[in-house]
Amino acid sequence: MLRMLRSLRAWILVVAVAWIATITVLIMSKPEDGAPSADVLATQIADALRAQDADRLAQLVSLDEGGDEVARVTVANFGTVDTQLITSHLERLNGVQVVVDYVRPNGERGALRLPAVVSAGRWKVTPVATP
């Protein structure tokens, strides 16, 4: 047994198995993009905009290409105009839409309507527009 522990081949095998196990655990622990329901999606979008968290918003965008950029611009536009009182709710008109209501410092009210889609059991919005 002691001779086996001194073998380079045994250590290479142990390191390879540990490496594969680590990669597998990292892949399995990555959170899924999207939300489990439309209600949770609406809440997560409002939370991401309030926190000005573009990374969290990007996980809720259904675009394959450019979702990160769209989320970053959307969060930047909400932050630039110092948007306040961000809330969200669902509308079931022509499908499901997440409606983000906001108030700007000058008192102007606005609403951002984002079509929601479900894919593989996860809810996302497409596309994210800017206020």
Placement of tokens 């105009």 in the chain: 81
Domain boundaries, the chain: 1-30, 38-125
pLDDT higher than 80, residue 1: no
Task: Supply the pTM of this predicted model.
Answer: 0.71
3-state secondary structure of 65: coil
Distance of CA 21 to the CA centre of its chain: 26
| Per-residue pLDDT tens digits for 55-97 | 999 999 988 888 889 899 988 888 777 777 788 989 887 789 9
CA atoms within 13 A on the CB side of 92: 2
| Per-residue pLDDT tens digits for 29-57 | 766 788 999 999 999 999 999 899 999 99
Closest CA to 44 of 56, 62, 55: 56
Placement of tokens 């926190």 in the chain: 51
CATH number of the 38-125 domain: 3.10.450.100
Please state whether beta strands 96-103 and 122-125 pair in parallel, antiparallel, or not at all (unpaired).
unpaired
Q: Which helix or strand (DSSP H or E) is residue 55 part of?
A: helix 54-58
> Any residues with CB less than 8 A from the CB of 62 and at least 6 apart, and which?
34, 117, 119, 124, 125, 126, 127
3-state secondary structure of 3: helix
